[in-house]
Amino acid sequence: MVMAALFACILSPAVAQAEMVGATLAQVVDTNSVQSKSVGDVYETMKQWKLVSLGISMLLVIALLFAGGLLRPGGFAKAGLRDVSTLPGVVWVFACFVVILAMSSAPQLIGKIQWIQDQQYDETQMLAINTVGSYIFGMIAGIGMLFILKGSATTGDGEGKNNCGLGLSLLDVPVGLGCFVLAYPFIELLNMLGVFAYTQTQESPPEGMGHPTLELLTNQPENYWVWAIVAGAVIGAPIVEELIFRVFLQGALIKWIKSPWLSIIFSAIIFAGIHRLSSEPLPWHALLPIFALGLTCGVAYERTKRVGVPITMHICFNALNVMLALMINADAAQTGV
């Protein structure tokens, strides 16, 4: 549920008014340098420096990862791969379908509760109830499958230990925050690329929100039912989606393909594709940052072997989108939860 290109789309409708203010200030301050620059010029300069700073940050992150050995050939193997060999690939895929089935069955089960039917909730209220219910069902199924797989995955040393990265720890949160900081330049650059490609092909920048949840929030920020939907998107969606795509699906792909990098890339592509094929599809230009999020979450998960790391990164991404949508003009959010 943005970042540098988001600011471009958000502020562009206000540039004309800002230029009028800038002209007034130029009359007050009798300085040629001030009079020769409009607010629009300053704004464009800031955008250019933003791109440069992101590019430099990206190069520094790449250099850091290369120095650490992750981007070198066999980097994952040297750091130690997740041991997914103790469970068949079909078991990992089955875990995905259990979570998906639990989520999809929630609205039907909720709709059969007589007390809810008697309340005669409106469309937004039912959407909130079904959304939160779906994520609760998905989290219960996902966390349940996580512990079942963890208990079933054992090494051959007879000690009952496993190294398949299915554990949860409070340490995952700070590690995930750090990983998101490292991933941010890459995610934002692909976001800018998506907006740029859309603008060039459509001859106009994207309009409106990149996700219906953000659009609903900015249209009804005072509606606490909408905030329930947002809470589900910020907290529930990252937990469920990371369990499905990073833990279970990526585990199956590593089991079958034997390549961490290919497994990460394929799971990120599927992750982005699902957002396009859903009942409320994202615009195609917003799929690039979604792919970048999936890619970086996949790399972080395989490197740290901590389930909470990609979940924390995903929560940060969604929360940042929501925060920006509220802080800045709602008409310009480009990516979404």
pLDDT tier at 78, thresholds 50, 70, 90: confident
| 32 or 240, which is more confident | 240
Report whether 193 contacts 58 (CB < 8 A). Answer: no
- DSSP label of 232: I
The CA–CA distances, whole Å, from 246 to 84, 159, 282 equal 13, 27, 20
CA distance 63 to 54: 14
pLDDT above 60 (res 200): yes
pLDDT grade for 17, boundaries at 50, 70 and 90: very low
Is 233 inside any structural domain? yes
- How many separate domains does the chain show? 1
Verdict on whether the full-model pTM lies above 0.85? no
Q: Which residue has the higher pLDDT, 308 or 169?
A: 308
On whether residue 180 sits in a domain, the answer given is yes
Q: What's the pLDDT at 47? A: 64
Task: With respect to residue 62, please indicate whether it lies within any of the assigned structural domains.
Answer: yes
185 in a structural domain: yes
Instruction: Note the pLDDT tens digit of each residue in 123-165.
Output: 999 999 999 999 999 999 999 999 999 888 765 444 445 678 8
Q: From its phi and psi, is residue 203 left (phi > 0), alpha (psi between -120 and 50) or beta?
A: left
Residue 106 in domain = no
**Crossing angle (nearest 10°) for helices 123-152 and 89-111:** 150
Task: Give the type of residue at 199.
Answer: T
Range of the structural domain that residue 253 is part of: 3-81+165-332
In this prediction, residue 38 carries a pLDDT of 53
Q: Mean pLDDT throughout 34-58?
A: 68
Query: Hunting for tokens 């997914």 — which residue is that?
Result: 84
For the stretch 109-128, pLDDT in tens is 999 999 998 998 999 999 99
pLDDT of residue 34: 42
Distance CA(306)–CA(299), nearest Å, equals: 11
For residue 335, the model assigns a pLDDT of 47
